[in-house]
């Protein structure tokens, strides 16, 4: 009965909202076991022995699982309190990079660039640095090396044009290194729509190639050796071609992060419906009898929609 009231009735809210209720259910279970033991028709000494045995079993479970299950549980609680990331965020933990699909009681699931799902234990997340891409925007950059025979002002102008062409704002160029044979440049810009992060990196590289080639700037190692006899002003640049942009081209993110995208949309959708239900319940208190019937009908419809959303997520 308690499980139905605390967990089942609110199952459509998803794991994010059920976390506190799951902890309450765990506490009630332990209290119920204790009450049952105290109500057993046995002598006081036997009752004390049973309580001691149960306490020993529980202590043993915590002791043996402290490095795994119990530690992950505490780490999960800590992550819920600090909230370093949410569903749909881009995160990087050591060599793992992807979008958050679900934050569970014991682990967190992310979807990688290869469309794979990776479950990371919560203890790993609190013992290693977690890089979270800000929803307000992130910096996209690329580096390349060019010869000393090129003017840095011309290179900077071309690189800034490339960044602007691919939709980056507040772009800037840095000279990273003065090598023995070449100068290393870094072009960076702010990407405001972070859902296109992977595509934006590729687009920046493409624009750098196109703009530099269009301005007759050769991207070539200074140690390049070619046995052909070439004119001194010859540049190794591919011929300019008119390329049609495919309007129906598939975005990388649509394929790689499909589940993460769906999880984020479903969570936002459930939060919106839950907020509407709460507002209707508040207005229900001040409504007359005719209005109450209409409001209750709308609440039932919204709750049905929540359950349908939950079932669709499970099937997916």
Report the pLDDT averaged over residues 18-46. 71
Provide the pLDDT for residue 276: 83
Provide the pLDDT for residue 242: 61
Average pLDDT over the chain, rounded to an integer? 79
Q: How far is CA 189 from the centre of its chain?
A: 21
Residue 64: is its pLDDT beyond 90? no
Provide the pLDDT for residue 40: 72
pLDDT band at 207 (very low <50, low <70, confident <90, very high): very high
CB 108 within 8 A of CB 92: no
Residue 221: is its pLDDT beyond 70? no
CB 103 within 8 A of CB 15: yes
- Look at 276 and 290; give whichever has higher pLDDT: 276
Residue 278: is its pLDDT beyond 70? yes
Residue 39: is its pLDDT beyond 80? no
For the stretch 1-19, pLDDT in tens is 554 455 545 554 445 555 5
Provide the pLDDT for residue 279: 83
For the stretch 95-115, pLDDT in tens is 899 999 888 888 899 988 888
Position of tokens 């009908």?
A: 297
Provide the pLDDT for residue 135: 82
For the stretch 115-166, pLDDT in tens is 888 999 998 999 999 999 888 889 999 999 998 888 999 999 999 999 999 9
Provide the pLDDT for residue 262: 77
pLDDT band at 310 (very low <50, low <70, confident <90, very high): low
Q: How far is CA 252 from the centre of its chain?
A: 16
Residue 212: is its pLDDT beyond 60? yes
* CA-to-CA dists, residue 64 to 14, 61, 120, angstroms: 30, 5, 21
User: What percent of the chain shows pLDDT beyond 90?
Assistant: 24
Provide the pLDDT for residue 230: 65
Provide the pLDDT for residue 165: 93
User: What percent of the chain shows pLDDT beyond 70?
Assistant: 76
- Residue 238 is encoded by which pair of tokens? 């591919």
Query: CB under 8 Å to 139, separation ≥6 — which residues?
Result: 188, 189, 190, 191
Three-state SS for 221-244 is CCCCCCCCCCCCCCCCCCCCCCCC
DSSP code per residue over 125-150: HHHS-EEE--TT-EEEEEEEEE-TTS
- What CA–CA distance (Å, rounded) separates 211 from 187? 13
pLDDT band at 244 (very low <50, low <70, confident <90, very high): low
* CA-to-CA dists, residue 33 to 28, 59, 146, angstroms: 9, 15, 73
Provide the pLDDT for residue 76: 86
- Look at 12 and 192; give whichever has higher pLDDT: 192
Lowest mean pLDDT among 74-78, 151-155, 189-193, 203-207: 74-78
For the stretch 24-35, pLDDT in tens is 766 777 777 777
Provide the pLDDT for residue 312: 57
Q: Is residue 60 packed enough to be buried (19+ CB in 10 Å), middle (13-18) or exposed (0-12)?
A: exposed
- Look at 61 and 305; give whichever has higher pLDDT: 305
Report the pLDDT averaged over residues 70-78. 84
Residue 176 neighbours by CB distance under 10 Å? 13
């Amino acid at each position: 009965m308690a499980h139905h009231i605390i967990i089942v009735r609110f199952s459509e809210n998803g794991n994010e909202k059920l976390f506190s209720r799951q902890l309450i259910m765990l506490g009630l279970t332990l209290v119920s076991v204790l009450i049952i033991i105290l109500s057993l028709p046995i002598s006081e000494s036997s009752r004390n022995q049973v309580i001691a045995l149960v306490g020993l079993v529980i202590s043993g479970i915590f002791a043996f699982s402290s490095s795994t299950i119990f530690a992950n549980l505490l780490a999960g609680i800590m992550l819920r309190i600090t909230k370093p990331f949410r569903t749909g965020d881009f995160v990087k933990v050591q060599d793992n990079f992807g979008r958050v699909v679900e934050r569970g009681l014991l682990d967190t699931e992310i979807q990688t660039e290869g469309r794979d799902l990776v479950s990371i234990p919560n203890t790993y997340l609190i013992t290693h640095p977690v890089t979270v891409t800000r929803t307000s925007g992130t910096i996209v950059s690329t580096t390349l090396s060019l010869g000393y025979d090129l003017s840095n002002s011309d290179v900077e102008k071309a690189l800034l044009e490339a960044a602007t062409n691919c939709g980056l704002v507040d772009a800037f160029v840095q000279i990273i290194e003065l090598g023995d044979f070449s100068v290393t440049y870094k072009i960076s810009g702010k990407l405001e729509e972070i859902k296109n992060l992977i595509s934006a990196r590729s687009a920046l590289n493409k624009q750098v190639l196109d703009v530099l080639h269009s301005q007759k700037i050769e991207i070539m190692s200074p140690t390049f050796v070619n046995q052909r006899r070439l004119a001194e002003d010859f540049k190794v640049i591919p011929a300019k071609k008119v390329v049609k942009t495919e309007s129906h081209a598939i975005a990388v993110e649509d394929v790689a992060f499909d589940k993460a995208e769906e999880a984020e949309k479903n969570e936002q959708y459930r939060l919106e419906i839950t907020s509407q239900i709460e507002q209707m319940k508040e207005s229900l208190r001040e409504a007359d009898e005719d209005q109450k019937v209409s409001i209750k009908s709308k609440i039932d419809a919204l709750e049905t929609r929540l359950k349908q959303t939950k079932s669709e997520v499970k099937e997916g």
